[in-house]
Structure 1
Amino acid sequence: MKGSSHAYIGAAVGAIAGFQIDATDPLTITTSAIIGSISALVPDLDTNGTASNRITLSKSFSQWLMRLVGMGLLIAIIFQFFQTGITPNIIIFAGIGALLLVIFRFIKQRRMLTLTGILVMAIGFVMHQSIGILLAGSYIIIASFLAHRSYTHSLIGLAFYAFILHHIHLQWPIDGLFIAGTAGYASHLIADLKLLPVNRRGVKLFAPIWNKEW
């Protein structure tokens, strides 16, 4: 099923969840619809998934950023060297700068999603070590190494995503966040079932315990 179809279904499911929470509040219903739509695309963050190409940093931008940071670190280290001489911190940061300047030449597009996840985790650390953001970053990193329609399309993926939403909700208690987000994610798994005539392939709901496609 196409990503746009998943987004529409997720929006409808999210809106229903928002209606159940507060049928008289258009803001709650609208917010829940948006959350459901976004969550319905999350399972496709795995390798070759449609959503992975949309949130992934572009290769050219990532190369430019790594080159800029690498050069910046090396320049800063040179100035620091003339002030303090060689210290353990100078050696470490010089190594990081040199590594970035080497890596940007060899990194491939499929690893851009991994870098995106690392960036999200870095944001989580900056935001007072936000558990929800850190978990979201870890989800993206893990998904970047998974085959399409594998664990992100299973009940384990659904449980992990619900766990992420729970922690995000603890920090930002948005009405409908947990229910609409979980329902939106679940709608993707249901819409990809082989039981539906539009799908040639199904999903391994019970992986890794049972790898049968449903």
Structure 2
Amino acid sequence: MKGSSHALIGITAGAFAGYQVQPDLYTIAIASAVGGVSALVPDLDTNGLASNRITVSKQITQWLMQLVGAGILVAIIYQYFTKGFNPSILLYAGIGLLFFIVSRFITQRRMLTLTGVMVMWLGIVMHQSIGILFVGSYIVIASFLSHRSYTHSFLGLAFYAFILNQLQQESQIDVLLIAGIAGYASHLIADMKIFPMNRRGVKWFAPIWNKEW
């Protein structure tokens, strides 16, 4: 199923969930947005529809990493000729060289991993937000998973619900948990084999039971 279809179903599911909590326009609007975003989250796994949408392209990242590496090396050369040799130069030279090496071997899949790491770092910077930290960890874990595996199971749903609960406590948005669960679950239901547009199903009980539904 296309990402736009998942998002639309998630928006509908989130709006319905929000209405059950508080039938006012503001709550329903927030719940709709949360449901729509959450409906795309399961596809953050490798080759998922959403995984390439939240990452910078590999070419841009390679260029930026090489630029940073070159900048470090230029700064080292300048320091050497102006202030002489210092043992710390070797450390910084190694860092600059590492940027060049990593830029040559980085793949689009690992771009998702780097995105998750950056989100985790953001969680630490933002007053040590545990919720944001777990969002980043979800992205990192998803970047190593094959498509329609654990993110498309009760295990993935439970982990996402845990993250939502933490974010709800931090943000005081009461509808966050129920709308997010509704949106995420709508994706798993929409991907089931009972619908003719799906060639594959969903392994609801992975890793305990890998039958596709």
Structures share a fold, TM > 0.5? yes
- Equivalent residue, structure 2, for 1:4: 4
Shift of 1:211: 0.5
- Equivalent residue, structure 1, for 2:56: 57
Alignment map for 1:14-93 (pairs within 5 Å): 14-23=14-23, 25-77=24-76, 82=83, 85-87=86-88, 91-93=90-92
Corresponding position: 1:174 with 2:155: no
CA distance in 1, matches of 2:77, 2:158: 48
- Equivalent residue, structure 1, for 2:128: 129
- Structure 2 unaligned residues grouped into runs of 5+: none
CA distance in 1, matches of 2:68, 2:110: 18
Shift of 1:208: 0.4
CA distance in 2, matches of 1:211, 1:198: 21
Shift of 1:192: 0.8
CA distance in 1, matches of 2:73, 2:147: 39
Aligned residue for 1:52, secondary structure, equals coil
- Equivalent residue, structure 1, for 2:13: 13
Identity among equivalent pairs (%): 65
CA distance in 1, matches of 2:63, 2:200: 39
CA distance in 2, matches of 1:183, 1:83: 62
- Equivalent residue, structure 1, for 2:119: 120
- Tell me the number of residue pairs that the alignment of Structure 1 and Structure 2 aligns: 211
Query: What's the Cα RMSD here?
Result: 1.9
CA distance in 2, matches of 1:159, 1:77: 49
- Equivalent residue, structure 2, for 1:147: 146
User: TM-score, normalised to structure 1's length?
Assistant: 0.90
Aligned residue for 1:104, secondary structure, equals helix
Shift of 1:184: 0.5
Q: Say if 1:153 and 1:65 are closer, same or farther in 2 by CA, change over 3 A.
A: same
CA distance in 1, matches of 2:167, 2:91: 34
CA distance in 2, matches of 1:91, 1:155: 49
Shift of 1:136: 1.0
Shift of 1:213: 0.5
- Structure 1 unaligned residues grouped into runs of 5+: none
Q: Which residue type is aligned with residue 166 of structure 1?
A: N
CA distance in 1, matches of 2:73, 2:195: 56
CA distance in 2, matches of 1:123, 1:5: 30
